[in-house]
Structures are given as C-alpha cells and as structure tokens.
Amino acid sequence: MFGKRIDLLRIFGFEIRIDPSWVIIAILIAWSLSAGLFPFRYEGLSTGTYWIMGIVGAIGLFFSIIVHEMSHSLVARRFGISIQGITLFIFGGVAEMKDEPRDPKAEFMMAVAGPLSSILLAAIFYGMSQIGKGAGLPEAVYGVIRYLAWINGVLAAFNLIPAFPLDGGRVLRSILWGWKGNLRWATRISAGVGSGFGLLLVFLGVVQFFGGNFIGGMWWFFIGMFLRRAAGASYQQLLVRRALEGEPVRRFMKRDPVTVPPSATVEDIVEHYIYRYHFKMLPIVDGSDRLLGCVTMKQVKGIPREEWGRKTAGDLAAACSPENTVAPETDAMEALSLMNRTGSSRLMVLEGDRLAGVISLKDLLKFLELKVELEPHR
C-alpha cells in the first residue's frame, strides 16, 4: 500500500509513520478549514486567525487519527496480534497488522476499539467547547474545539459503516465468522459489501461532480475507488496468508541457483548472467560454496560502462543482511512480507555462511495459484 514512509515518533512501542501523501492532505485540510469552514462559521475574524485555526484543526485531526489507530493497536496487542506500526496516509490511517486476528472475538474487539475512541474524543471535545464558550473563551478557540468534536463524530460514523476494510466491515466479518466459523467466506462477503459501498461512493462522486460540486465530487470518487481496491486487496491478502502460512521457505527454494564467482567482471555479469537468466539479483559464492554477498542490477547500473571490464563481483558484493537473506525454516509468509517491504523479488536462503538456495516471488505466486485453484474449500 505504501511507498517510502517517514518515521515520526514511537508511542507505547508502536512506530508512528506518515506516508508522503499525508503531507498533501494535511495542507489541503488546513487550507479548506482556514479559507472555507471557519470563515463561514465564525465571521469577522482576521485572515491570520483563520489560518491559525486551520493549522490547529489539522493538527487536532492528526492527533485524533493517531488515537483511533492506537486504540486498534492496543487491543490487538492484548489479543496477541503483532502490529508493525501505524501509518497515516492520504485517506486516513492504518494499523499495520502482521497477522490476522485468531478468532471472531479478537476481530470484533479490535474493530470496535477505534470508533469507540473517536466517539469518546468527540464527547470530550464537545464538552470542552461548551465549557469554553460558557467561560467566555475567544470564538477562535472554542470554534476549533467544536470542529474536533464534529470531525471525530464523523470519523466514528464513517468507520462504523459495515463495508470492509472499514471498522464496521470488520465487525460484520467477525459476526459472519462467528456464525459460520469460516474466515474466508466471511471475508469474501464483507469485502463484497465494501466493494459495493465503494462503487456507491464513486457514483455519488460523479453525480456531485456534474452537479457543480467539483471538489466534493472528486473526493467521493477517489475515496470510493480506494475502498473498492482495498476491499479486493484485503480478500486477496487473506488467500495469500492462508495458502502460505506454515509453509517453510525450504519447500519453495531453488537448491541449485545461478551464482556468480567473485572474480567475474561486471561485463561478464551483464553478458553471461543478467542477459541470459534475467535475474536482477545474483548471489556471489566462492569456490567452497561460501556466500560472500550478492550483486544487483541496480549496482551494475551505477558503474560507468568503461569500468565494466575492471570492476568485479567481489568489488560490488553487497553484504548479506536480514534484508536479503532468510533461513530454510523461515515461514513463507514472512519471506513474502520481506520481499514486499524491501521491493525485492528474490531472497538468498542461508544455512550458516553457505548458500542453501534462492527463493523467488515467482515461485511463491505459482504455488499460491495452484493451491487456491485446487483447494477452494479451504
């Protein structure tokens, strides 16, 4: 889902990150509040005051989304579900689960935690705005607090819509899962509802766009498209996890992979390995089968053409690390997650300091396709 992310802070052991898309939406929110909502609601204030209100409102929304996702994460931890971090992106935020919930109860409790936290925040902010207004606080102050009460109520209401992967969709999935005892079926149904709801938002966005509400129409359209895509991706992710979980890397790795000797020149690597085998990563192995590292096409591209005959694989060898190696008994799902995180399609399988094999994304997907086709009931 995400590209390069920016680490912000760590709270309760959870890494809080932002996707660059969040910076765009934060600026747009601050602008829309300072140029639209607040001047409409509270007339007669200065332009500078409106901008301060808009910026504080955007920061308050940032805080509210973190609290919402943190609630999911804390409950998930309580049920033994590992959370890799919380990322804010253009359409809100997401707690990145390493595993699926183990039972319907865990799914239900984790799903409702977010909306409940938003409802609590809405009540707190609303109470603060009423107290502030009665105490004679400046209009700009209680106006921002009232906005945060309203936006948290909207956040809770929208997330409670039973459309997967929204929180309400996860509640629906937990109920269907508990009823039938079949997570795959429950996910398919709730993801279908989510996809249908996304299609409805797309339709409403088109209607609003041609009705003259261009900005609102575009937002509804893009949110609807995002929900449709996320619903389908969530179901596919479940199929992948169910098919690969518990399967060791040893089962999929090629035991006699193509390797490069450390003495091979860059010219040899290009002509006899990359062009011949079409691999973007090649292990470098010495005469005793000891793994020295790897060479990638990205490294080769960084070498000037005139130096291809002088530079060797040994000169370019990238050290082995947890980012490009796995053990034979590593769960295949962990290997797939590592590929996804690093953008690599091949990993070296290491036993001690020796190369046991290479596992590729292509081999995992081929197994996945066959398993899903032959075992649909599972």
Over residues 203-216, the pLDDT tens digits come to: 998 998 888 777 67
Whether 114 and 223 map to the same domain: the answer is: yes
pLDDT value at 2 more than 60: no
Supply the pLDDT for residue 220.
Answer: 84
Rounded CA-CA distance 177/101 in Å is 11
325-326 and 346-351 strand pairing: parallel
* Number of neighbours of residue 177 by Cβ within 10 angstroms: 24
> Looking at beta carbons, which pairs linking 314-323 to residues 24 or more positions away fall under 8 Å?
314/262, 314/263, 314/284, 316/266, 317/262, 317/284, 317/292, 317/293, 318/293, 318/294, 319/293, 320/291, 320/293, 320/294, 320/348, 320/350
Mark whether 62 and 146 lie in a shared domain.
yes
Residues 48 and 194 in one domain: yes
| Between residues 82 and 63, the one the model is more confident about | 63
pTM summary value: 0.71
Shortest CA distance to 349 belongs to which of 261, 288, 283?
283
Strand partners, 346: 360
Kindly state whether residues 209 and 261 are assigned to the same domain.
Answer: no
Of residues 3 and 107, more confidently modeled: 107
Do 201 and 80 fall into the same domain? yes
Tell me how crowded residue 230 is: count the other CB atoms within 10 A of its CB. 22
Give residue-wise pLDDT tens across range 152-186.
Answer: 999 999 899 988 888 899 899 999 999 988 888 88
Domain boundary among 244, 277, 298: 244
Q: Please, are residues 368 and 240 in contact by the beta-carbon 8 Å criterion?
A: yes
In a domain, 102, yes or no: yes
- Which one of 244, 264, 280 terminates a domain? 244
Domain that holds residue 321: 249-374
Q: Is residue 1 part of a domain?
A: no
Would you give the DSSP letter of residue 269? I
Asked if residue 9 has pLDDT above 80, the reply is no
Distance CA 182, CA 165 (A): 17
pLDDT at position 11: 80
How many folded domains does the chain comprise? 2
pLDDT at position 145: 93
Per-residue pLDDT at 1: 46
pLDDT higher at 91 or 289: 289
The whole-number pLDDT of residue 26 equals 83
Q: In whole numbers, what is the pLDDT of the chain averaged over residues?
A: 85
Q: How far apart are CA 84 and CA 286, in angstroms?
A: 37
SS3 state of residue 248: strand
182 phi and psi, to 5 degrees?
-125, 105
pLDDT at 93: 67
| pLDDT tier, 121 (very low <50, low <70, confident <90, very high otherwise) | very high
Mean pLDDT of the 339-359 span:
85
- pLDDT bucket at 91, cuts 50 / 70 / 90: low
Binning pLDDT at 50, 70 and 90, where does residue 54 land? very high
Q: Are residues 253 and 230 in the same domain?
A: no
pLDDT digits (tens, 9 = 90+) for 214-272: 767 887 888 888 888 888 887 777 777 777 777 888 888 888 888 999 899 999 999 99
- In this predicted structure, the answer to whether residue 361 has a pLDDT above a threshold of 60 is yes
Give residue 135's identity as a one-letter amino acid code: A
Do 233 and 111 lie in one domain? The reply is: yes
**DSSP-based three-state secondary structure for 88:** strand
Q: In the listed set 197, 216, 244, which residue is the last one of a domain according to the structure?
A: 244
Confidence of residue 90 (pLDDT cuts 50, 70, 90): low
Helices (H), 86-213: 104-134, 139-159, 167-180, 183-210
Q: Considering the chain, what percentage of its residues have pLDDT values greater than 90?
A: 20
pLDDT at 181: 86
Going by pLDDT thresholds of 50, 70 and 90, the confidence category of residue 372 is low
